[in-house]
Structure 1
Amino acid sequence: MQAQGRAVVVELFTSQGCSSCPPADEYLHELAKRDDVIALALHVDYWDYIGWKDIFADPAYTARQRKYAKVAGRRMVYTPQMIINGQEDVVGNRPQDVQALIAAHQAKPAQVRLHVTRAGRALQINARDVSGAGQSWDVQLVSYRPESPVKITRGENAGHDFTYANVVTGITRIAQWQGNTPLSLNAKAPGDGPVVVVVQRAGLGRIAAAQIAK
């Protein structure tokens, strides 16, 4: 069990219309069971034209993936791609490579201490920047569905039934925090389902802390 806020965030950019994505989608189920990882599936829309429109796809997630690429100096995006703690990218159907990056991020010193409590839909978020760098952080609220079954009838994955893990249903920046003072913030979950509070370097930089609030 990791200390509160210290779980490594794995964002899988995937598509129901991508024939190489099912192994990565399945692997995300394994990651989602771990206490030291927060696994999130963000479905992109740029494969919708090849015969099957991904019912979970959102242009906002495509934009997030493209911004990650721009920040990192990469020229292209792809599926299945995993972004580890907002920094490294790796092909999502290569578990050994993914695990190596997760372990590397677990070994890094903490930059932010995060504590989230939930009562109904009310969230209390407290954080402290322990890096001493006085950085600017985005505080984001990510909602997701733990399991989402889909029957695919067209496209590259036609004829298959899949159950997707931790499908992201929304990402909202709820605050921009200057880390030179402690953060104490009240927020409201968008529904009764689980949410993740993510503290990320402004501009889609390193994710310094994240915690699930169920």
Structure 2
Amino acid sequence: MRHMFAAVALGCVCVGGSALAEDVATSPVVLELFTSQGCSSCPPADALLTELADNDDVIALALHVDYWDYIGWKDIFANPAFTARQKLYAQSSGKRMVYTPQMIIGGEDTVVGSQPMEVADMIKTHQDKGMPVDLSMTREGDQVTVSAPAAPLAEPAILQLVRYIPQRTVEVKRGENAGRIMTYSNIATDWTPVTEWDGTEAFEMSFDVIGQEPVVAILQLQDGGPIIGAARVR
């Protein structure tokens, strides 16, 4: 898959004083819904994600996996990289299996994606906790800039950039959802790790972007760890 980003500048600038350990940022909470057009249990979760899609307090993303493609319908949004990401989350939490619809909240908590009350409770928990890094993002024409102040990190984090399609309607012709016309929201199409950051210095990095789709920046500890900062430009 062609990555839709090109880094054009990277600058690290020391700032006076580091963020205190107890400081938290009011970044939006990242929700990752692992879903499939071939999963009969997924439509309620897809509908819930649509309800959350335009909420500025969360960044709700649909990651379509490919392991149900064999049962009669090939998900047109499925990406093996998203299956691998879900498996990495499972490994990091000591689980042996993956499933749909699964929602990962903040890179660390798991709920069944079709359970609105559980999802709402977990969002509230993460909002109350906040994030250790105040990630900022701006967009000017075909370029986005991501920045963050210095912050004390226990280990280096990975900056990732995500593109998504805001909404698409699909007629599913075969498989468990045959005959249904489904609306999907915030469909992740590209998820690119771009750099590692240890938090010792502030950073600012700019990227060329292709197309008008929204761009999300996610700062996450390695190997499927917690998300410690997030921002979005539409």
Give 3-state SS (helix, strand or coil) of 2:149's partner: strand
Q: Give deviations 1:45-96, integer Å, cap 9, x for gaps.
A: 0000000000000100000000000001111100000000100111000011
Give 3-state SS (helix, strand or coil) of 1:75's partner: coil
Question: Aligned AA for 1:172?
Answer: T
Contact kept, 8 Å, 1:112 with 1:209, in 2: the verdict is: yes
Structure number with larger C-alpha Rg: 2
**Aligned-partner Cα distance in 2 for 1:40–1:78:** 16
Q: Which blocks of at least 5 consecutive residues in structure 2 are unaligned?
A: 1-23
CA apart distance, 1:188? 2.0
Q: Give deviations 1:110-169, integer Å, cap 9, x for gaps.
A: 310111111112111111243x23531110010000001100110000000011000000
Give 3-state SS (helix, strand or coil) of 1:103's partner: helix
Aligned to 1:161: 181
Matched, 1:127 2:134: no
Question: Aligned AA for 1:91?
Answer: V
Could you state the TM-score of these two structures normalised by the residue count of structure 1? 0.95
CA apart distance, 1:4? 7.7
Contact kept, 8 Å, 2:136 with 2:148, in 1: the verdict is: yes
Give 3-state SS (helix, strand or coil) of 1:112's partner: coil
Contact kept, 8 Å, 1:135 with 1:180, in 2: the verdict is: no
Aligned to 2:138: 117
Matched, 1:180 2:200: yes
Alignment of 1:4-83 (within 5 A): 6-83=27-104
Sequence identity, in percent? 50
Contact kept, 8 Å, 1:5 with 1:210, in 2: the verdict is: no
Q: Give deviations 1:147-206, integer Å, cap 9, x for gaps.
A: 011001100000000110000000001111111111111112232211101111122211
Q: How many residue pairs end up in the alignment?
A: 211
Equivalent position to 1:98, from 113, 119, 128? 119
Contact kept, 8 Å, 1:134 with 1:179, in 2: the verdict is: no
Alignment of 1:135-214 (within 5 A): 135-214=155-234
Question: Aligned AA for 1:153?
Answer: K
Question: Aligned AA for 2:149?
Answer: R
Question: Aligned AA for 1:123?
Answer: V
Contact kept, 8 Å, 2:161 with 2:215, in 1: the verdict is: yes
**Residues 5, 119 of structure 1: alpha-carbon distance in 2 compared, 3 angstrom cutoff:** farther
**Residues 163, 82 of structure 1: alpha-carbon distance in 2 compared, 3 angstrom cutoff:** same
Contact kept, 8 Å, 1:8 with 1:38, in 2: the verdict is: yes
